[in-house]
Structure 1
Amino acid sequence: MAEKRETIRAAIYLRISLDQTGEGLAVERQREDCERIARERGWTVVATYTDNSISASDKTKVRPGYDRMVADHARRRFDAIICWDLDRLTRQPRQLEDWIDAATDRGLLLVTANGEADLSTDGGRLFARIKASVSRAEIERKGARQSAAQRQRAAMGRPPRGIRATGYTLNGDIVPHEAEAVRAIFTAFSKGSSLKAIAAALQGAKQAERDAGDRTMVQVLPSNVPVLPSRNGRPWNPTTVTAMLRNPRYAGWSMLAGEIVRDSAGNPVQGQWEPLVTDTLWLEVQRRLDDPARKSSRAGTDRKHLGSGLYLCGICGQPVKSHGTRYRCAGHVMRSRSQIDALVLDAIRALLARPDLADLLPVADSERANELRQAVTKQRDRIARARADYAAELIDGSLYKEIKDDAEQAIQFLEAERLTLTVGDASASVLRAASPVDAFNHADLAEARAVIDTLCTVRLYPAPRGRKALDPETVKIAPRQSDSASERTGP
């Protein structure tokens, strides 16, 4: 009697790199061919692993189906793998060698639906290695072509291909409701809101309640940032907000690999799309993100109280901190937070109601900003002309370097002055409103702090012993113009 042959347990692996329709039709066609192979060979299909719309070219890409298959093979749950084509299984020579080792050491059978690979023979293994090497080389050539195409698109100011930026479609058209949120994010951060507060507002966190008779309760979250689902479906966090604020595309500049693309003269390449924020605002946001003081002193990080880090100790001049329900400077001052805040807010309202308020406001000089922008362009043109003259042997290297260094130094000073024109943006929406007092009453915490910081300095001195009522003389609120003249060591 003939000996009964042992049944081969087969696993089917299915994958396509991109499912354009999302219907999985290509995967189903692969499944039909692979199941036909199993029937023809008399194998029993014990598992099917699927990775739909996932590439195998990137070795760092997670393929859940593939990873489960590797784990199940380690547990000896199947004896053979059937895939439609070898490159459906892997495009990584290293991964292929792992399967070849499994075929030679443990007898794993690997066949493809088109019969191109059979690791049970030396000829099949040779063919598999050759095909994997050719496939890998084509991936590298394709990557080089795509990189060159992206550089060319960036140099022309065309929108980059791939994942679209929030606020834009893939071809650079504006998505109105997303664009509104992007503008609000930039504005809120420039006004002093923290990254965490902006992320919470985008997630829909509730604002702090305010009592009309007691302005000591202010909105911790920025009031103008709308709720917006993130592009990846995950919760917003400070890192994702920072990535948006760092993106020069929003200022209308072309970008490649996270950097602004510049032309031969060093000027930023203008993108072929409408910017969502001004370049001046974008530069101010970068300055604030890079400010060491913001990172080391918590300026611009989470503040939950009006005066913490803003009011000064009248004894030593250091910013006071929140301590329970009080403001505190260790060894010098311990004052009731609600009493101090109420007094300061009333004083700020009085300043905002003054008819000469305009004299206290920072001046935004858009005309000067344009002059500075043109001056920077002229300096970059100087560098370009000098480079051309050097190439044409009209000037020597030392003269070219002298011109270049001089122009770059001038650009540095011009850009620094240009940034100073944005100072005051944090409080501008309140200070330049038709009714500054009303605008202040509806400001969020960051805006209220910015207004206080713009208009005055607040110094807290120790309260007289035995007195519970607030003594206004122990809180010195000095307008900025008279601040230097009011320096003192005691009340």
Structure 2
Amino acid sequence: MTPSRVIGYVRLSRESADSTSIVRQRQIIQSTADSRGWDLVDVVEDIDVSASKRRLDRPGLSRVRAMIAGEEVEAVLVWKLDRLARSVVDFGTLLDEGINVVSCTEPLDTTSAMGRAMAEVLQVFAVLEARTIGDRLRSSIAYRVGQGDRWRGGPTPYGYRSVRHESGDGKTLEIDPSEAAYIRQAAEIVLAGGSLYSAMQAIREAGSKPRRAEAWSISSLRVVLTGDSALGRQSRHGVPIRDEAGVLVAPWEPILTVEESERLRAILAPRPLTETRRKASRLLSGLLVCETCGSRLRVNSRRTAGAQVESYGCRANGDGRVCERPASVNADQVETFLVDEFLAVVGALPVVERREVIRDVAGIAEVEEAIRHVTDSMREPGADLGALVAQLGTLTESRDALASRPAEPTIEVVESGETYAERWARSGVDERRAVLESVLTGPVPVKAIGRGYRRMDAERVAAPWAWLDEAAADFVDPYWTD
């Protein structure tokens, strides 16, 4: 059968700025159709599409198959056979569908019996070439990984940059100072009790952007902070590489310490679906008492003029106790009043944090992590228990030797670079309440007042601030827990 109406098909696995192969394929197809006197109905493209990965699931190829099945055209014209398929099975499927293929650069025309046989032979060699390329690539990656400090290739992890290895053979990674600084900034915020959202906002405002997106998201930042890359580790098939003793290999300078990484993973672990959130409390919950009866004031809520209004009130009478003059105060007003009093005294002071630090013996955290990994591996089906037990014994001896070294706790005074007003502005309710508790010598009494009295002053709410207590001669700065 000699075709009269044909359709052209072109494909390119990866389009680049200097690529002209699509244009060249079109030119050759048009020239071939003209030289044979065929009517070239259209030329269909699949760009940035791999025939090895997508197989026959390609938008352009699907259109070609539909047009041939609908008898709109009689054959498909391609630059080379491997543009159409890289699998013998896939090519056989197309032939079984009755698709005739004509190659512009190969002696291939399946409109004849000899042409169909030649097509099958050529396709075998195309498959062999694709597999050879894959084997060569996998062998190259395995070699680079086996060299220890060679980068295996692919997207460079955030916080690092790829550079030529000092030996001249392959590449390695080194810290990118600006990106590593953003990682440390975000980690410090989370480890200090801040939320992942506040860490994300902080590095966004500082000018940080991820590699392959316009802006950071909470999920992308969580991946960076909890992943192995920030520890200077390299992975293969998604699994971090270990040495013969089972200790994770870190061929590059880490951005975070193992201790910091484990704390971040514990803090940022996804919340179980069955876990319920604790109801948020107000700033002064548990800190206010009724001056009349001494009962703790509790939050009450009521709707007034279409708006929800909350107040702190004495509930002694409702609990079966007697209070002759129960106190009640608007929640927003009393919180604003006490916060203003607090910040007026300490707001401009610098935050100085005192921390007890136990100096970790170098390497012990890595060995302990390796012990946990070996122990978990023992529970897996088919585990080589003999080898794992021997490995565990070696690791345990290493840990005991490291643990025998002295590690005395020390107290560090860390200047945070913030004032109390600045730290207050970025803290949550629970943190703020803890700070207020540290500078109050007791509960805050609230006086009962007559109806219509709205003024908020020290007579109505007399906070026992530590700096007002003559007995507290050695006043200690408010303590911020980290």
TM-score interval w.r.t. the shorter chain?
A: 0.5 to 0.7
- Cα distance change on mapping 1:463 and 1:406 into 2, 3 Å: farther
- Cα distance change on mapping 1:55 and 1:379 into 2, 3 Å: closer
State the identity %.
19
Q: Which residue number in structure 1 is paired with residue 144 of structure 2?
A: 153
Q: Which residue number in structure 2 is paired with residue 257 of structure 1?
A: 237
Are 1:247 and 1:258, in contact at CA under 8 Å, matched by a contact in 2? no
| Cα distance in 2, alignment partners of residues 198 and 298 from structure 1 | 21
The alpha carbon displacement at 1:400 in A equals 3.5
| Cα distance in 2, alignment partners of residues 65 and 177 from structure 1 | 43
Q: Which residue number in structure 2 is paired with residue 219 of structure 1?
A: none
> TM-score, normalising length from structure 1?
0.62
What SS does structure 2 have at the residue aligned with 1:403?
Answer: helix
Are 2:86 and 2:126, in contact at CA under 8 Å, matched by a contact in 1? yes
- Cα distance change on mapping 1:90 and 1:14 into 2, 3 Å: same
Q: Which residue number in structure 2 is paired with residue 210 of structure 1?
A: none
Match of 1:36 among 13, 31, 34: 31
Are 1:326 and 1:334, in contact at CA under 8 Å, matched by a contact in 2? no
What SS does structure 1 have at the residue aligned with 2:160?
Answer: coil
Q: Which amino acid aligns with 2:45?
A: T
- Cα distance change on mapping 1:197 and 1:436 into 2, 3 Å: closer
| Cα distance in 1, alignment partners of residues 388 and 175 from structure 2 | 48
> TM-score, normalising length from structure 2?
0.63
Deviation per residue, 1:155-209 (Å, 9 max, x gap): 513223122333433443555554444444434444445445555x3xxxxxxxx
| Cα distance in 1, alignment partners of residues 93 and 153 from structure 2 | 35
Structure 1, 82-91 or 156-165: larger mean CA deviation:
156-165
| Cα distance in 2, alignment partners of residues 475 and 63 from structure 1 | 74
What SS does structure 1 have at the residue aligned with 2:432?
Answer: helix
Aligned: 1:12 with 2:4: no
Are 2:12 and 2:49, in contact at CA under 8 Å, matched by a contact in 1? yes
The alpha carbon displacement at 1:89 in A equals 1.6
Q: How does 1:332-481 map to 2 (within 5 A)?
A: 336-337=331-332, 339-340=334-335, 343-344=338-339, 347=342, 361-365=354-358, 368-369=359-360, 371=361, 373-374=363-364, 377=367, 400=390, 403=393, 406=396, 432-434=415-417, 436-437=419-420, 439-440=422-423, 445=426, 447=427, 452=432, 455=435, 468=454, 472=461
Deviation per residue, 1:322-365 (Å, 9 max, x gap): x9876799x9899634642663475477567789x76x633344
Are 1:311 and 1:460, in contact at CA under 8 Å, matched by a contact in 2? no
Q: Which amino acid aligns with 1:79?
A: E
- Cα distance change on mapping 1:318 and 1:271 into 2, 3 Å: farther
The alpha carbon displacement at 1:48 in A equals 1.8
| Cα distance in 1, alignment partners of residues 162 and 142 from structure 2 | 17
Match of 1:109 among 85, 89, 100: 100
Deviation per residue, 1:212-252 (Å, 9 max, x gap): xxxxxxxxxx3774344543346643332233223322222
- Cα distance change on mapping 1:22 and 1:224 into 2, 3 Å: closer
Are 1:325 and 1:338, in contact at CA under 8 Å, matched by a contact in 2? no
Are 2:445 and 2:463, in contact at CA under 8 Å, matched by a contact in 1? yes
What SS does structure 2 have at the residue aligned with 1:432?
Answer: strand
The alpha carbon displacement at 1:86 in A equals 1.5
- Cα distance change on mapping 1:191 and 1:340 into 2, 3 Å: same
Q: Which amino acid aligns with 2:268?
A: L
Match of 1:119 among 87, 91, 110: 110
What SS does structure 2 have at the residue aligned with 1:58?
Answer: helix
Q: How does 1:114-263 map to 2 (within 5 A)?
A: 114-136=105-127, 138-140=129-131, 142-155=133-146, 156-171=148-163, 172-175=173-176, 177-196=178-197, 201=201, 222=202, 225-233=205-213, 236-263=216-243
Structure 1, 45-54 or 25-34: larger mean CA deviation:
45-54
| Cα distance in 2, alignment partners of residues 69 and 316 from structure 1 | 78
- Cα distance change on mapping 1:400 and 1:179 into 2, 3 Å: closer
- Cα distance change on mapping 1:379 and 1:469 into 2, 3 Å: same
Are 1:349 and 1:437, in contact at CA under 8 Å, matched by a contact in 2? no
Q: Which residue number in structure 1 is paired with residue 323 of structure 2?
A: none
Q: Which residue number in structure 2 is paired with residue 303 of structure 1?
A: none
Q: Which residue number in structure 2 is paired with residue 289 of structure 1?
A: 268
| Cα distance in 2, alignment partners of residues 408 and 293 from structure 1 | 36
Are 1:184 and 1:224, in contact at CA under 8 Å, matched by a contact in 2? no
| Cα distance in 1, alignment partners of residues 397 and 196 from structure 2 | 36
The alpha carbon displacement at 1:38 in A equals 1.0
| Cα distance in 2, alignment partners of residues 252 and 239 from structure 1 | 21
Gaps of 5+ in 2: 164-172, 287-294, 316-327, 375-385, 467-475, 477-482
Are 2:283 and 2:432, in contact at CA under 8 Å, matched by a contact in 1? no
Are 2:446 and 2:461, in contact at CA under 8 Å, matched by a contact in 1? no
| Cα distance in 2, alignment partners of residues 67 and 469 from structure 1 | 77
The alpha carbon displacement at 1:436 in A equals 3.3
| Cα distance in 2, alignment partners of residues 247 and 318 from structure 1 | 44
Deviation per residue, 1:269-292 (Å, 9 max, x gap): 1234x4444444333222212264
Structure 1, 122-131 or 21-30: larger mean CA deviation:
122-131
What SS does structure 2 have at the residue aligned with 1:161?
Answer: coil
RMSD after superposition = 5.4
More helix by share: 1
The alpha carbon displacement at 1:22 in A equals 1.5
What SS does structure 2 have at the residue aligned with 1:10?
Answer: strand
Higher-Rg structure is 2
| Cα distance in 2, alignment partners of residues 256 and 463 from structure 1 | 67
The alpha carbon displacement at 1:469 in A equals 5.3
| Cα distance in 2, alignment partners of residues 16 and 46 from structure 1 | 21
The alpha carbon displacement at 1:144 in A equals 4.8
The alpha carbon displacement at 1:261 in A equals 1.8
| Cα distance in 1, alignment partners of residues 432 and 230 from structure 2 | 30
| Cα distance in 1, alignment partners of residues 58 and 239 from structure 2 | 31
| Cα distance in 2, alignment partners of residues 318 and 74 from structure 1 | 76
